[in-house]
Amino acid sequence: MASLRRLIPLRYSINRTAISSSGVQEGFWGSFKNYSVIASKEQNVLKYQDEYVQAEADNLLLDDEITKLRSELETSKESFLKIPEALKTMPKMNPEGIYVNKNLRLDNIQVYGFDYDYTLAHYSANLQSLIYDLAKEHMVNEASLMKLDFFGSIEPDGCYFGRRKLNRKEIHDIYGTRHIGRDQARGLVGLMDFFCFSEACLIADIVQHFVDAKLEFDACYIYEDVNRAIQHVHRSGLVHRGILSDPHRYLVKNGQILRFLRMLREKGKKLFLLTNSPFYFVDGGMRFMLEDSLGCRDSWRELFDVVIAKANKPAFYTWEHPFRCYDTEKDTLAFTKVDTFLPDKVYYQGCLKSFLQITKWNGPEVIYFGDHLFSDLRGPSKAGWRTAAIIHELENEIHIQNADSYRFEQAKFHIMQELLGRLHATVANRERTEAYNSLLEELNVERQKARHIMKTMFNRSFGATFLTDTGQESAFAYHIHQYADVYTSKPENFLFYPPEAWLHVPFDIKIMPHHLKIPSSLFRNN
């Protein structure tokens, strides 16, 4: 400001000179011209002086803000040495809860439909090894595996070629961008259920084999060959016979599902089974799972009003194909027209249109339970049925999210995100100082550490099923949100709710209702 004060007398002297000039026109204009030149130069000097002073003031404010953010970071890091007691008292999410995407009144539901595999029947981890080995044997001795977020962007830390993780440059070189987008994503193959794990592992291992052996290959052919082998394993009955040959190794016994089905029948509900699996496989599995609690091994079919096998979902929901009655003794299909469903019979194939014509069950009064979002739930959702997604891994993920250690890292992550946002907003387009760069680097390191710890708690390669490393919901979560009215880990969780319950979307829902956000304020109040 001192430099500005020294300029003031000069400005006054200029004005006085102009005013005291003679009345002669030439002299006047000559004096005015000289004044204009001097004034213009003076204005530029003033402008530069003002900008300099403002810049100095901005830098002081910026340094003060960075110092303040640095202080908050250091205070937070000190509080990280101990988990806040308040964190331990926060509510836990129920691993066996029912989570609601769309409001659902169970008192309006009169018909309950079920898929079989990974819905009524759950399998041990040994099944993945069985499918992998059978498909590998059948094969006689650009397929990248990637995780997408809720908006269709590739997660940089979750994209693999073979068993090798791709870096950001490689991802950009292959796909041109990190953002795949919904339209382009339709050209990708979604691995959406537990049966897909063995397929994903086989693709990764074969790609890695070609890479290690330095052999040229077209990744599309690898996927096609692997998929063909997986389909052969299922359609030929190899995996079905393998499971039934040793059910104790592969199937999980479950008396609770029997309680649930019986409760529904006692309440007067209609039940149907709609599965792509062949009847002999379903029959063998149901007998094994329920033999300890059912009493008579053959009576599981009495629980259902309609049993449909080999339905060929998802085509079942869109094509027009007749039902055929299946003879369970002779293993043959009848040629007579099916225009009614009998409770003691088994039916093959068919289509949704015929199913609705025969049963007269209206869409909104029907709820269908399934594990595969595309094969099981997308068709019913579009047809007007209510849908329940069975996501077996949900229980384990909620247990992890409930743990103090996870919530601790989540709160740390949120603090780093908040401080980074404030730091960027403070600097904007101004020159980035050494203090800014130092704080930026430290915040990014702390955020990355918290992010990595949270990811490895779920899975060291791909992290959580419902979340990406950045905290965004995954593409899987997007499809759950799209096609499932409710989701839970297993059908019998409905036993914890009365059949007349009204299931509502939480009022404070972000995207997925089982996610609980840990506020960073817990550490500041510690």
Angle at 390 between CA 388 and CA 393, to 5 degrees: 145
> Would you give the DSSP letter of residue 347?
E
- Would you state the structure tokens that stand for residue 425, as one six-digit string? 């907003």
CA 475 – CA 489 distance, rounded (Å): 19
| 419 within 8 A of 72, measured Cβ to Cβ | yes
Q: How far is CA 444 from the centre of its chain?
A: 24
What does the radius of gyration of the chain's CA atoms come to, in whole angstroms? Answer: 34
Q: Cα-flanking dihedrals φ and ψ of residue 344, to 5°?
A: -100, 10
Mention every residue, 6+ apart, whose C-beta is less than 8 A from residue 416.
Answer: 443, 444, 446, 447, 450
- Would you state the structure tokens that stand for residue 439, as one six-digit string? 């704080």
| 251 within 8 A of 243, measured Cβ to Cβ | yes
212 appears as a binding residue in the annotation: no
One-letter amino acid identity for 126? N
Question: CB count, 10 Å around CB of 483?
Answer: 21
My answer on whether omega of the bond before 314 falls inside 30° of 0, hence cis, is: yes
Active-site annotation, residues: 115, 117
Per DSSP bridges, beta strands 144-148 and 154-161 are: antiparallel
Mention every residue, 6+ apart, whose C-beta is less than 8 A from residue 224.
Answer: none
CA 518 – CA 444 distance, rounded (Å): 19
CA distances from 350 to 317, 355, 356, 358, 380 (A): 9, 7, 11, 11, 15
Question: CB count, 10 Å around CB of 57?
Answer: 10
Place of tokens 């910026």: 62
508 appears as a binding residue in the annotation: no
Angle at 193 between CA 262 and CA 189, to 5 degrees: 145
117 appears as a binding residue in the annotation: yes
Burial (CB count <10 Å: 0-12, 13-18, 19+), residue 84: buried
CA 358 – CA 308 distance, rounded (Å): 13
Residues β-bridged to residue 308? 274, 347
CA dihedral sign of residues 140, 141, 142, 145: positive
- Cα atoms in the Cβ-side hemisphere of radius 13 Å centred on 19: 6
Angle at 91 between CA 484 and CA 106, to 5 degrees: 35
Mention every residue, 6+ apart, whose C-beta is less than 8 A from residue 278.
Answer: 237, 240, 309, 310
Binding-site annotation, residues for Mg(2+): 115, 371
Binding-site annotation, residues: 115, 117, 371
Binding-site annotation, residues for GMP: 117
